[in-house]
Each structure stands twice: as C-alpha cells, then as structure tokens.
Structure 1
C-alpha cells in the first residue's frame, strides 16, 4: 500500500474517531436530543469532513507525492490547536471538578485543528501541483517555440540548397534535431530502384530502409506518419518507432524520408505538424531543383 493510501486511510479513521468522541461527549453532558444535536453536530460535521478529505486523498492520484505535506499540515494543525486548548485551560486554572469539561474543550479544538490542517494541506498540495503543471506547460511552449525556430532556420537553409542531395542532408539533420531520432534516411524511388540521398540509419540495413520507403510511398505527400509495430516491413526488434513522410511524389520518382529510433522517442502531434512544415519546404525546393534540371537538359539538347 503506497503512502497516499496510508495517509488517506489514517485521516479517514481519525475523522471517524473524532466524530464519535464528539457524539459521546455530547451524550455525556445531556440527554436532551436538541441539546445533543446543537452541541455535537458542528464538531461531528468537522470530523466527518476530515474523513471525507482522507477518502478524497486516497482516491485522487493528483495528490501522489504530496501526501506527506498534507499529513504534516494536519498534524501541525492538530498540535497547534491542542496547544491553544492547553494554554486556555492552564490560564483558567482548571480544577479537578472541571477536568471533564476540559477534555471536551480539548477534543473540540483538536477537531477544529485537524480539519483546518487538512484543508490547508490539501490547498497547499493542489497549489504546488498546479505550479508544476504551469511549469511543465511553460517548458512545453518554450520547447515548441525552439523547434518552430529550428523549422524556420532549416527552411531557409533548404530553400538555398544547391542540390537535391543538399536538401536531403538538411532534412536528415532537421529530423534528428527536432525529434531526437538520430537515424534518418532520405530515399529516392525511381523505376523500381532505390537511391539513398542521405542516410544516417545504422540499426536497419539500407535495403530494408528502401523496402520501408517502397511500402509507404502511397502516403499523402507532406503528411508525417508515426508507425508502431507491426511495421510494414520486417525490421529488427531493437527498433521501437518509425516516422515516415513522402517528401515529393512526381510521376516518375518518389522521395521518402524515414526515421527510426531504439529508445522510445516520442513524436507528438505538435512535432508532426512542425515536421510537416519542414517536409513542405523540402518538397518545394526539390520540385524546383528538378524543374531546373529538366530545363537545363532541354536547353542542352
């Protein structure tokens, strides 16, 4: 049983005990139902509130890792109010005849202190959890902004690349930088042949990478697809994820980029959108270079 469940159970039991003691003390003082209700009901409600808080703590995983703070606040509130009760009793010079009433006052204040401590502890835990969520969101936005800047920089580099091989080299570098996948290949398929324009894949043989490119060449141009097992072709078990995109799909040739990873690298939806922007830059530049090459051939003839 983990700490959250233990702390929640302890608070729940403590709340029930406090509520029961309040009822017992109220009945000891009077047998009149209305008087018992007026005397006990507010403090019984507080005890049951502690119980509810304990059940909530045990069931809500959002408090995972923060239960020690809730327990500390609850203990601190209980001890503080118990100390207040002691000071009040000593200042009033309690005699032996009023010891029973002193115990009633002590239990009342302990109940109030326990509830106050639990509420403050829950609020503190929630606040800290919210701060962590905000920090994570800030980091995510900063990371996204950095990757967006990378797309812009690589887009400019791709737009000025002098050759298709140069475009492929920038695409390989960009995929590695933006996804953490250090093994990427750009494969050009033409007339049943496959040519690696740029390739940093070490885990998978180049002929298997070419088969993968052939298997996914029917994808929509520009769309970045994340593949999970089973993959379209037989790939070593060490590979956990693959990413593919058709960069350019002309009538006589298709250019495909393939990235593989062995370390559970996650490519999220935002990363896919950024990669699609990068692929669109590469697609435009490759198409332009192909047209220029075709024009030069016609001019040369």
Structure 2
C-alpha cells in the first residue's frame, strides 16, 4: 500500500496504521499499541520494529536545507494578548525577492513545531511565499525535540489559548512588512482542523485554506467562511474522513467554494515524509495542488 521505500524497512500490517493513529492522538498508550501490534507482526518484524518504522525520523524530512541560499529563515515572536501574551514561530522568506509576496501560515500537528513542519515552511519560501510556522508549545519552552513529549505538552495547554495564539499569528503575519496582505493557511492533522477554524473565525484575514487530514470546522461556523478551501484527505483515514460528508453538505448548502481530494492508498499523515505513512506519489500531487491553489487565490 505505502509507496515510501525510504523510511519503511519492515512489513507493516494494515491494522498497525490504525493503531498508530490512535496512539499518536492519545487514544491508546504506547504499551497498548505494542501489545496490540505484537499480535499482528509479520515475518521477522516485531512490535518494536513496526513502531520504529512508524515513528518519525526527522533526518529524512529535509527537502529544503535550512541554509539553502534561496531562503532566509529566522525565529520571530509576535504579540498574543488574548492567548499567552507572546508567541514564537519560524519565519522563512525568499532570499532575493524585492517585490511584496503573499504569506502562508503553516500550522503543525498535535506535537509542536517539529523539523518536518519547519521544512514545509522552507518549501513554501522556495516556491515564492513568505511562510510562518508558529509553535503552540512556545509558552512551555517550545517543541521539546521528540513527539511523545510534544504531544503531552500540547495536551496540557489550554486549547482556547492555543487557538488565540494561532489567530494572533495569522493577524501578525497578514500585516508583516513585505507581504501583500493576502494570507493562506495550510495545516496538518491538528493544524488541518485549525486551518478550517481560522477560516471561519477570521473570515476577513484568511484568503485561502488548505487543511490536510484535519477535522472539519464546527458545523455552526461553516456559514462564516469566506475563503476557498482545498481539503486534502487520505483515502484510508477512516477516522477523519467520517467527519467530512456532513461538512461538505453544509459547505454546499452555504455556497462555499471548496474542493475535496481523497488520495488513494493513503493514510492519515501521508504528506509527512519522515514516517512510513508517507505516500510519495500522493504527497507530491497534493503539494503541487496546494501551491497552485495558493497561487490562484493569493496571487
């Protein structure tokens, strides 16, 4: 099923992807995951080796180097008076542009600003956008360097304050010197859900949204959305996909502009090139569609 030969070194049973999704989202413990997967192991694979293949290896998630001469990357703080007072994130700009450029807010998964998300921001800068990826864990010192601790940290923070920080980041980026005042938002998993939420709660700020395998916006907020949406879903991601038919019906009912793509043979997290869930062919297709969508709607 999975097309990524770079990170998958053991045979991974299909059921293990579903179990890992539950583990990654705090529905089961690591011990529960290992116990359940132990009964599914194929050949010489063990529960530990299956988990090792599914956990991210961020050394693999660098398509654009942090010292690429075509970009400039810095960490910047922004005010968040309704959140934690101050936020911080990763700002990446094309190095040589003299014209104003559209901006894209990049929202991470449920574990903080990890190296994969930073690389997504660099990819956007290479494509000609000003990208900013805020770290929801900044109030606790920032992404801790591993996803298990990052997930626990993010669960410990008031979710409403996280949302307030993300909204503050969007407003700050939209007004940043050198931007055109056109703002796109792209997010993954938790960040995908936040992409739709920001489109609904900041309709005069967000000009285009691309949620990757995130829950749809709350039903009572869909009518407020003005921005076009490009929804990117993995065909095998049953947990998230089950939530979208109702949202699609409401988007149609309210005459919203949206497109939903469901990518064949693709799991939750199929764009993340640091794990065995990565589907190279579908991830590249989804990314090219994302760039084309932002160019169309942001200019």
Greater percentage in helix: 1
Q: Name the larger-Rg structure.
A: 1
Q: More strand per residue: 1 or 2?
A: 2
For this structure pair, what is the TM-score category when the shorter chain's length is used for normalisation? under 0.3
Please give the TM-score of this superposition, normalised by the length of structure 2.
Answer: 0.20
